[in-house]
A and B are shown apart, each in its own frame.
Chain A
Amino acid sequence: MQEMLNVEDLWVSVGDRQVLKGVHFSMNYGEINMLFGPNGAGKTSFIMTLMGFPRYRVEQGKIYFKGEDVTDKDLYERAHLGLGVSFQRPPTVKGVTLRKMIEIMSNDGAEKGKLISHIEKLHLSGHLDRGLNEGFSGGEMKRSELLQLMVQRPELVLIDEPESGVDIENIALVGEAINSLLGKDKVKDPKRSAIIITHTGYILDFVNADEGYIVVDGNLVCRGNPRDILSEIKKHGYRRCAECR
């Protein structure tokens, strides 16, 4: 079977800073991959480049999604091909409510019942008429991001630090939402996949990840079992990973 995502020798810069330095990466349909790494290592740059944000300038290399070269496609085209992202810190969009956003993204009313249930489960009923992310707490932002992705239904979800700014109680809620988004709470949907960035690894208690990677200095190193990697990081930090490149 063809790989869902294939990244070849990817070099990316932001302004005059090199953020990715020759990344090779691939994953299959249905996989959940975790990215670990110190601050500034290039984790967010990697998923933002995959999504196609223009400030992440691809200098060299290729990105293939579902067999198609998407390196030169814009955000909108990539979203329509099946890529979606949950931001760590999404921008505030005053005047555009969460309700409006969901209305625009929903193509038909067929899923309305399901949508209401998602809104209730994510405790967002009271946030629908507020500007997107306007005055949202960390946890509310994460839940709002996941709700939007539930409407968008991307095949490959890129999630940037789902635990950051979320209290312990709400991490379970976020974890459940991710599982629901990926169809993991039901019969496994072989097509929905994810790349999740985590600092703390808390999310591993809720999400059954297949592979883990450590990102160091603009590259992906140390592929392995995500729990083993987390335990290694907890013991020795990221230093050993940098050394074993």
Chain B
Amino acid sequence: MPISDKYLSEVEVRAEKAKDKKAAFGPDIDLSRYTQHIERGKIESLEGLSQQAKEAAIMTGINLKEEQRSGSYMQVDQSVVYENLNKAYEGQLEIMSTTDALRKYDWMEDYYWKAVPVDQDKYTAQAALHMTHGYFIRVFPHQKPQYPVQSCLLVAENYISQNVHNIIIVEEGAELQVITGCTLSKSDAEGIHLGISEFYVKKGGKLFFTMIHNWAENFNVRPRTWIVVEEDGSFINNYVLLKPVKSIQAFPVAYLKGANASAKFNTVVYGLKDSYIDLGSRIILEGENTRGESVARTIAADESVIYSRGDLIAKTKGYCLAHLDCRGIVFSNKANIYAIPQLISAGALKAELSHEASIGPIAEEQVEYLMSRGISKEDAVSVITSGFLNLDIPYIPEFLDRNIKEVIQATAKEAL
């Protein structure tokens, strides 16, 4: 049975009211520029994508042969072109577009726009009023698929507003890994990606989520993400941005609702060209004995501007422990990093919150140390930079890892 019309119209009314509401952070985007709508047909397999789309997808960690993947979801512009659940995992999880899930399950009312406020700003409003699918992944209770689900949200044309709404439900005692890539197949594409993500980790569940963003100079991105973690649940998030972007602003929230819930954010950002990057993470510790950790590594090269935010908000009556670790390196005298950690204890008497934030150059003594071992200056800077970014992400293909290191090597020269 589909979700009720009553609920959908309530969502619509709230969205209508917020459609001109500016966001708290980041440059304001004129959404009326992005009105292009393109419908695309389904493909039989990921190999059926255009050459450009294939290359772009691969660079975000997508395995076209779907090896070591439990399932796949692929969207090009506004259309769902491919969704597949590997037969071996039938009965363990389900994958479909969120649009289909809303048609299929009336209980989606408990999840759809229940974590992210639909009236947060004009971007949430646009995603609600002009939703163009997004993925729905649900892993059944106590199921633990061995391999990750992969998803790719790709924009192939100009003036597209890709308004996806993603929902992941990890049922009680279940575990899920997701690797998702958001990217462009045209490097000069102008447009916007609005990604609403609402993830629910039930009692004792685990969600391990990796997102790779590969955008370009003319593209704007406004993700809006909330993760709700129940008792004994855990959420681990890896986020990687290593390509230029016109502007991106996101401040995902992990809401640790149940006792013993935990969340960890690892954010790796490499600012290139004149990218405007405003990223962070917020952890709300409401359950007793909840734990949070947020680690951000940022490098600002060229003329990029990076805001690296981190909020820890303790609301629990019991004990909680959370730490922010936010470090940056500025490679160019025209680049800027703003590290903004914030710790808030709302009457949480037993909360232990801490942070360390630093911005500094690559230590010369470290470079010289490596050089004294016979490593060239360029290689030393590259090795130290890679180590600083701590790129140790499971299920990323080796060539992608190599490519990331090449990007670092090419731009690290600026730091010399």
CB of B16 within 8 Å of the partner chain: no
Interface centre among B366, B374, B379, B387 (most CB of A within 10 A): B374
Interface size classification for chain B = 20 to 34
A75-B368, A90-B369, A148-B373 given; A95·B379 CB < 8 A: no
The answer, among B372, B386, B388, for a CB contact under 8 Å with A85, is B372
User: A135 near B: Cβ within 8 Å?
Assistant: no
CB distance from B360 to the nearest CB of A (A): 12
Cα distance A97–B383 in the bound complex, in angstroms: 10
18 contacts between A and B (CB under 8 A): A51-B372, A54-B368, A75-B368, A75-B371, A75-B372, A76-B371, A76-B374, A79-B373, A84-B373, A91-B369, A93-B366, A93-B384, A96-B370, A96-B387, A100-B383, A105-B374, A148-B373, A152-B373
B402 to chain A, nearest CB (A): 14
Q: Which of B369, B383, B388, B390 contacts A104 (CB 8 A)?
A: B383
Give the 9 A-B residue pairs with the shortest CB-CB distance, closest first.
A95-B387, A79-B374, A96-B387, A75-B371, A76-B371, A91-B365, A93-B366, A75-B372, A95-B388
Tell me if A93 and B373 are in contact (CB < 8 A). no
Per DSSP, are chain B's interface residues mostly helix, strand or loop, or mixed? Answer: helix
State the main secondary structure of chain A at its contact with B.
Answer: mixed
Given the interface pairs A76-B376, A104-B379, the reply to whether A94 lies near B388 with Cβ below 8 Å is: yes
Across the interface, do A74 and B369 meet the contact criterion of CB distance under 8 Å? no
Question: B376 — which chain A residues lie within 8 A by C-beta?
Answer: 76
Q: Scan A42-72; emit 1 where CB is below 8 A from any B CB, else 0.
A: 0000000001111000000000000000000
Q: Give bound CA distance, A101 to B372, whole Å.
A: 12
Closest to A132 in B: B369
Which residues of A lie under 8 Å from residue B366 when comparing CB positions?
91, 93
Instruction: How many A-B residue pairs have C-beta atoms within 8 angstroms? Tell me.
Output: 62
Contact mask for chain A residues 75-112; partner B; CB cutoff 8 A; 1 contact, 0 none: 11001100011010011011111001100110000000
Given the contacts A100-B383, A100-B387, A104-B383, A93 and B377 also touching, CB distance less than 8 Å: no
A95 pairs with B386, CB closer than 8 A? yes
Which residues of B lie under 8 Å from residue A94 when comparing CB positions?
A: 387-388
Query: Which B residue sits closest to A148, measured CB to CB?
Result: B373
Choice from B363, B365, B375, B388 contacting A76 with Cβ under 8 Å:
B375
Are B387 and A79 in contact, CB atoms less than 8 angstroms apart?
Answer: no
Contact of A105 among B369, B375, B388, B389 (CB under 8 A): B375
Set of chain A residues within 8 Å of B373, measured between Cβ atoms: 79, 84, 101, 105, 148, 152
Q: Is A139 an interface residue (CB 8 A)?
A: no
C-alpha gap A75/B366 in the complex (Å): 13
Of the residues B363, B370, B374, B390, contact of A80 by C-beta under 8 Å? B374
